[in-house]
């Protein structure tokens, strides 16, 4: 990755950070509840529920009125986005491939923060992540002459989604159906890179989740019945697989 790509990644993170914050704030609600557009403390409107991706939240993550924190910690979204974009930029070999992988992580970041906040992965974001990633990678395959690579990505998406669905059926308390949907997008991205990336990403996901769970148990921060958001582990495992 050149210095130019690094600078571009951080610039893109700063540009999209406020909008990602808006999406996280709006969608961090319990299932069945409408998206929120006002501060829960002072009721000041801080975004538009009808245009969540156009809602802007301050980098501080605090309400402009009462200063109560209403979003992720300061700079956390921007830094996470910059790091994720830098990771995919190191692996992409063409502009369209970069667009596909960047699209995936730009939707994965808000999904991570939402899952941490309310333990859910909204369909609107998981669906958009899959559709956009598939679209860009299809163009990459057509323009680069890699139909086999696209076919492998599609098979990997189906296989990984089926694997997570099986785990969900066996033990619904271990993960949510949103994780199954996210697996389809992750399968596309990793499958485009190669089967080794698919295996590595899946392995790393469960290893990181297991280590984190054991650490919480040892620190008495959780019990065996505690439910942890699994989306962040999927995304982290995917990024690590892309790097290696």
The 10s digit of each residue's pLDDT in 3-53 is 676 677 778 887 788 788 888 988 999 888 888 888 888 888 876 544 444
Q: What is the pLDDT of residue 47?
A: 60
The DSSP output letter for 47 is S
Q: What is the pLDDT of residue 177?
A: 94
Structure tokens given for 49 = 């529920």
- CA distances to 5, 65, 106, 214 from 125, rounded to whole Å, are 26, 29, 10, 30
Q: How far apart are CA 168 and CA 180, in angstroms?
A: 8
Q: How far apart are CA 84 and CA 102, in angstroms?
A: 8
Q: What is the pLDDT of residue 182?
A: 97
Angle at 103 between CA 162 and CA 130, to 5 degrees: 25
SS3 120: coil
**Dihedral (CA of 39, 42, 43, 45) sign:** negative
Q: What is the pLDDT of residue 31?
A: 85
Structure tokens given for 92 = 């992409």
The reply to whether the predicted model has a pTM over 0.75 is: yes
| Interacting residues of 144 by C-beta distance below 8 A, sequence separation 6+ | 94, 96, 97
Of 185, 191, 150, nearest in space to 164 by CA: 185
> Quick check: 184 pLDDT over 60?
yes
Determine what percent of the chain falls in helix, strand and coil, rounding each to the nearest 5: 70, 0, 30
Domain ranges of the chain: 1-91, 93-244
pLDDT tens-digit profile of 107-140?
999 999 999 999 999 999 999 999 999 999 999 9
Percentage of residues in the chain having pLDDT higher than 70: 94
């Amino acid at each position: 990755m050149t210095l130019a790509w690094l600078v571009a990644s951080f610039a893109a993170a700063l540009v999209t950070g406020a909008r990602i914050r808006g999406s996280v704030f709006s969608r961090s609600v319990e299932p069945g509840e409408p998206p929120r557009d006002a501060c829960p403390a002072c009721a000041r409107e801080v975004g538009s529920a009808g245009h969540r991706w156009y809602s802007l939240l301050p980098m501080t993550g605090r309400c402009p009125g009462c200063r109560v924190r209403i979003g992720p910690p300061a700079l956390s979204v921007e830094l996470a986005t910059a790091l994720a974009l830098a990771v995919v930029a190191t692996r992409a070999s063409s502009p369209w491939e970069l667009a596909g992988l960047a699209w995936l992580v730009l939707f994965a970041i808000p999904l991570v923060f939402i899952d941490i906040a309310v333990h859910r992965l909204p369909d609107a974001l998981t669906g958009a992540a899959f559709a956009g990633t598939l679209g860009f990678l299809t163009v990459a395959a057509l323009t680069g002459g890699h139909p086999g690579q696209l076919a492998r990505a599609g098979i990997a998406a189906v296989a990984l989604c089926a694997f997570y669905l099986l785990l969900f059926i066996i033990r619904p308390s271990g993960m949510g159906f949103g994780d199954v949907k996210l697996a389809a997008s992750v399968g596309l991205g990793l499958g485009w890179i190669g089967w080794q990336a698919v295996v590595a990403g899946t392995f790393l996901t469960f290893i990181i989740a297991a280590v984190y769970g054991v650490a919480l148990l040892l620190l008495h921060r959780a019990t065996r019945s505690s439910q942890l958001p699994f989306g962040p582990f999927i995304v982290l495992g995917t990024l690590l697989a892309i790097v290696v």
